[in-house]
Structure 1
């Protein structure tokens, strides 16, 4: 399943390595990635391919814990949720 992973926090060494290393251990493939630093704040958005048998709730919790260790906020959401939100907002215009 495809998912959107976001990472935001104060810029410092090791954020990309920490997140990508975790994903590799979980056999989660990075399909696309965008990152930037704005006024000292690191922001990264990834589209990832999560194995279908993965426990998404546990994965989300582990990523939040990793974020605490790295000093950033990490969130992951199923891509279908974003698509549904876009369809709903399109109908409100």
Structure 2
């Protein structure tokens, strides 16, 4: 299953490393990353594959959300199909 992970918040050292480590620890493969920083605001979108992962989507969402809250980031993980439907024009 493919997911879209979005991260938004004030830029700081280690955001990509923190999220990548959580994904790696749970055997979630990163397929694509797009990130930018504007006026100190960090924005990243990752497409990831969790077919080989043992963790459930809800558990991964909880881990990412809790970690994001600790450092004042909004981190969301959604099934790619849901993300696509929500962002169709």
Q: Considering the TM-score relative to the shorter chain, is it more than 0.5?
A: yes
SS in 2 for 1:54: coil
Partner of 1:65: 66
C-alpha distance in structure 2 between counterparts of 1:18 and 1:70, whole Å: 11
Superposition deviation, residue 14 in structure 1: 0.9
1:73/1:85 CA distance change after superposition, 3 Å:
closer
SS in 2 for 1:63: helix
Which has more radius of gyration?
1
C-alpha distance in structure 1 between counterparts of 2:41 and 2:83, whole Å: 24
Superposition TM-score, scaled by structure 2 size: 0.88
Greater helix share, 1 or 2?
1
Deviations for 1:33-71, whole angstroms, at most 9, x for unmatched residues? 000001110000000001365311111111100111232
SS in 1 for 2:51: coil
Structure 2 unaligned regions, length at least 5: none
Partner of 2:76: 75
How many matched pairs?
Answer: 88
C-alpha distance in structure 2 between counterparts of 1:23 and 1:37, whole Å: 22
Structure 1 unaligned regions, length at least 5: none
C-alpha distance in structure 1 between counterparts of 2:42 and 2:86, whole Å: 26
4+ long deviations beyond 3 Å: 83-86
Superposition TM-score, scaled by structure 1 size: 0.84
